[in-house]
Amino acid sequence: MTEQLKMDGGTNGGPVECLGMTFPSDDARREHFLKLLAEKLKEPEFRAQEGFPEGSDDAILALSDPPFYTACPNPWLGDFVRSYGTQYNPDEVYSRGPFAADVNEGRNDAIYNAHSYHTKVPPRAIVRYLLNYTQPGDVVFDGFCGTGMTGAAAQLCADRSVVQSLGYRVDEKGTIYAQESDVGGRVWKEVSKLGARRAIVNDLSPAATFISYNYNRDCDPDYFSRSVEPLLAQAEEKFGWMFQTLHQPESGEIEAATAILGSEENPDLSSAGTCGRINYIVWSDMFVCPECAGDIIFWDVAVDRENGKVLDQFQCPHCDSDLGKRNLEPKMETSHDSALSTDVKHRVQLPAFISYTYGGRRYEKQADSVDIALAKKIAGSKPEHWYPAFPLKKGDKTGEPIKLGITHTHHFYTGRSLTILSFYRSHGLTHWAPFSALTPRATRMHRIAASRLGGAKKGEGGATVGVINGTLYVPSLSVEMNVMDQARDRLKAYSKAWFRKSPTIVTTQSSTALDGIPDASIDYVFIDPPFGSNLMYSELNSLWEGWLKVFTADDAEAIENKTQGKQLDDYRRLMARCFGEVFRILKPGRWATIEFSNTQASVWNSIQNAIQEAGLVVANVSALNKKQGSFNAVTNPTSVKQDLIISAYKPNGGLEERFRRAGATTDTAWDFVQNHLKQLPVTRAKGGVLDYVTERDPRILFDRMIAWFIRHNALVPLSSQEFQSDLQQRFVLRDGMVFLPEQVAEYDRKRAQSAQAPQMELFVSDERSAIDWLTDFLRKRPSTYQEVHPEFTTLVGAGWKKHEEKPELSALLEDNFLRFDGNGDVPSQIHSYLSTNFKDLRGLEKEDPRLKAKAKDRWYVPDPNKAKDLEQKRERSLLKEFEAYKTANKRQLKESRLEVLRAGFKTAWAAKDYKTIIGIAEKLPDETLQEDEKLLLWYDQALTRTEADA
């Protein structure tokens, strides 16, 4: 039975085709490719690939189901692409804009919930992106697949009921229409076709790819459930005694049960008294009182069941001293560890509280002496079958468990759980995801919801919570679940998640080196990469991987990790290499979607910088699972408080070819802008109101253009003032946004139907954003210093960057704007504002004394020609100050002006003076560099050029 379960899962029904070959059965297919993989594993160069996991040949082969899944770099990626994909055709017409709408997709989904993981995107959310960017049969790639939700989503694109449940309309021919928000109503637009996409999913973690494969393997859930039922029944018969507890015992029954425990190997407590079946056990830490050295059971003194909470302060039961958990030391003891063949020191935990079922009803009890003795008996016996007893690697998350004596993987389990899980594994079941899903639930990390224990006293049975995400934390009150009940629970959950699928290929390797995937062969990329120090995947996955005997190669792990010696710069460089591979394999003109979920500005900048350094161009940022973010939320790094979706594209071959021919000229700069504007959404609407399209802001366009030239190691052919001046002549501006002539008609139509113009929000955090805010403010309302000052002061508050000097308002106005001194005609901008907003000034000529008196001393935004002169004057001043920075020390640069640094870095880059950029960058506080995308871009490229010239 075991071999049959492991091999086919009920789908082995005759000849099968695979990568252009035909086999008499699926077993024959697997045997053929396993033999080829075994030969590959013996090649030193194959094992030398970056990110190759740590594991023996036998362990890798036992996990793998080639060519569809290998627990190592998959040798058949190229064959998969050639079999199912299409070659890039520069003449192919592909015109898709970014998916600009926010996605609010819940997590109450059978596929999403079948197997836990540290972070994942609901597959139905990914379906929306796939329908926007791809057609049936397209090959999509996910380089940080986690549980393989992109693969599942690729299959769901063929499910009419799923697509329709997402709000799409599907006609009889399989054409899919989306109802889009439009000003004045909603309209249906054709977006795609019904049909599966082909997915390549990859992760560095063997645990992640193992789960991904199980989600995406072709399996008959009914067959699997029927086949595994005899084994579950066998486990019940063999280990049911471990989950017995006496129901309302009398003293004689306690004595009889104690005698049975001491005399029988597999005791049956029902011969001593009435027994219930345990649902879960709450284990409690034991502490030592610092005053009297008495033993304290945390459950007994700290849990207030009546009110459902854990007390911060409590009394020692021996000496009545007032205590708190923080000033207690855990009680430690030494016992023999049969797996390690040595004595180990660990903290003491005892069963304290038990939820059990008797006669069809749930009951609760304080653990009695029999419950404690039973637990000790099980803990003192060695499981019959193999179980993982690997040492924990030193890491950022493993320090706390190691300090408490949890030094090896098996220490995370009670004797009960370890015995039953090892039994399941001996029959091959831990190679199936329903039983892999048991792992976190079966550990001591499972915690109790003390806040809900009060309800449990009223017969509701209590409630457990789960593992604290992103940690290896074993709480002082941990929950031991009935593993056999959980096995059935996970099997039931997976029976709803499995479905028939078209081929998906899974590989285990680093996304920094995807050599098996041909250039320009992928139609779309969706990735949810690690973000800085958010999660330590290799450490957290070690418990899963222990059962699999194959571990993550953490040297290629793209994270910030003190133990691994990886700083933010290391993380950024690894991510830049990953995005470089995404750029290489993606077809020109196609899209990549990157989910971002980190609130640190430095990490946000690192990701954006890595994307641009690879050659991808950002076209849109929108929200996932939350309401649409403002201009502030999606552009200002210090305010990223939600999951964001970054839409980026690979420029088409025509643009790149024209650049290669012409080089860095003003024509190629405007060629890039022209091409980029085509990729941007013309409008975004919500609730009848137009949203401001951030990427159409002239300042953002200039930044994107700079990044594109720097990525090509070319000088930027336009200054900021030249760019802004010429932009208005070449394109059309509406409400602060830039459009192509052929786009503006659509915008004007929707603008005419909108209740109000789109509003741009600016968050003032440094000198540049202060100037931008003043520009917008004065353009709408030319004002005197006294009028501007109160509002400006309110903005320049807590959000100001720590290491950025705060400028004087008077200096900002003097350097960047013009003031009407009362001489000559009133400037048109001021005249328009005054005549519109003051009734007594309407209809007056520009030279009228009354108008001039009201206009005197008002600051306003200069027209492009005068702004150019001001900008040149200001830049000369900035560069003069930058010269002083060259001789300054670190202490003197603790605070600096970002505008000075940006101007200086830009000028040094143009002169190929990379040494100056690097030298000054090394004097700056880390936050100054890491939290400014522009400085980071110049610095990174200067390092790259220096290394290339060395």
Beta strands in 528-678, from DSSP E residues, in sequence order: 586-596, 617-623, 644-649
HSE of 550 in the Cβ direction (CA atoms, 13 Å)? 27
Q: What is the pLDDT of residue 137?
A: 93
β-bridge mates for residue 366, sequence order? 353
> If DSSP codes are grouped into helix, strand and coil, which group holds residue 900?
helix
With bands split at pLDDT 50, 70 and 90, how would you rate the model's confidence at 185?
Answer: low
Query: What's the CA gap between 735 and 744, in Å, rounded?
Result: 11
For 270, residues 6+ apart whose C-beta sits below 8 A from its C-beta are 244
422 Cβ contact list (under 8 Å, min separation 6): 383, 384, 385, 386, 387
Instruction: Give the Cα-Cα-Cα angle 473, 479, 485 (nearest 5 degrees).
Output: 125
- d(CA 470, CA 473) in angstroms, rounded, equals 9
Over 70: is that where the pLDDT of 634 sits? no
pLDDT digits 0-9 by tens, 702-749: 989 988 888 888 888 888 878 888 898 899 999 889 999 999 998 988
Structure confidence at residue 628 (pLDDT): 34
Query: At what angle are helices 933-949 and 914-921 packed, to 10 degrees?
Result: 130
Percent of the chain with pLDDT over 90: 50
- pLDDT for the residue numbered 761: 66
Task: Report the Cα–Cα distance between both ends of the chain, in Å, rounded.
Answer: 62
Give the orientation angle of helix 933-949 with respect to helix 568-585, to 10 degrees.
80
The confidence score (pLDDT) of residue 297 equals 95
**pLDDT tens-digit map of 339-391:** 999 999 999 999 999 999 999 999 999 999 999 999 999 998 889 999 999 99
Cα of 309 vs its chain's centroid, Å: 32
Amino acid at 63: L
User: For residue range 597-607, what is the model confidence (pLDDT) as tens digits?
Assistant: 766 777 888 88
Q: How confident is the model at residue 503 (pLDDT cuts 50, 70, 90)?
A: confident
Give the C-alpha separation, 867 to 862, whole Å.
Answer: 5
**Which H/E stretch holds residue 81?**
helix 77-84
* Digit-coded pLDDT (tens) for 554-597: 888 888 889 888 888 888 889 999 999 999 999 999 999 998 87
pLDDT of 7 higher than 50: no
Confidence band (pLDDT; 50, 70, 90) for 461? Answer: very low
Token readout for 370 is: 């029999």
Within 13 Å of residue 140, how many CA atoms lie on the same side as its CB?
A: 36
Round to whole Å and give the CA distance between 639 and 634: 8
* Cα-Cα-Cα-Cα dihedral sign, residues 927, 931, 934, 939: positive
Query: What are the tens digits of pLDDT across the range 286-325?
Result: 999 999 999 999 999 999 888 888 899 999 999 999 999 8
Res. 410: pLDDT tops 60: yes
CA–CA dist 286, 454 (Å, integer): 23
Peptide bond into 388 cis (omega under 30): no
- In this prediction, residues 468-475 reach a mean pLDDT of 85
459 has pLDDT over 50: no
Q: How far apart are the C-alpha atoms of 288 and 489, rounded to whole Å?
A: 38
Q: Interhelix angle for 698-711 vs 933-949, to 10°?
A: 10
User: Bigger pLDDT: 622 or 581?
Assistant: 581
Q: Give residue-wise pLDDT tens across range 761-792.
A: 667 788 888 888 898 889 889 999 999 988 88
Q: Which residue has the tokens 């060395």?
A: 950
For the cut 50, the answer to whether the pLDDT of residue 275 exceeds it is yes
Q: Global pTM?
A: 0.86
The tokens for 612 are 């641009």
Angle at 414 between CA 408 and CA 417, to 5 degrees: 110
Is 400 or 465 the better-scoring residue by pLDDT? 400
DSSP character string of 131-194 = HHH--TT-EEEESS-TTTHHHHHHHHTT-HHHHHHTT-EE-TT-EEEEEEEETTEEEEEEEEES
* Alpha carbons 789 and 786: distance in angstroms, whole number: 5
What is the per-residue pLDDT for 938? Answer: 87
- Alpha-carbon span 848 to 308, nearest angstrom: 76
pLDDT at 509: 97
Confidence check: pLDDT of 887 > 80: yes
Q: How confident is the model over 134-161, as a mean pLDDT?
A: 94
Q: Which residues pair with 593 in a beta bridge?
A: 526, 647
Q: How confident is residue 4, by pLDDT bands cut at 50, 70 and 90?
A: very low
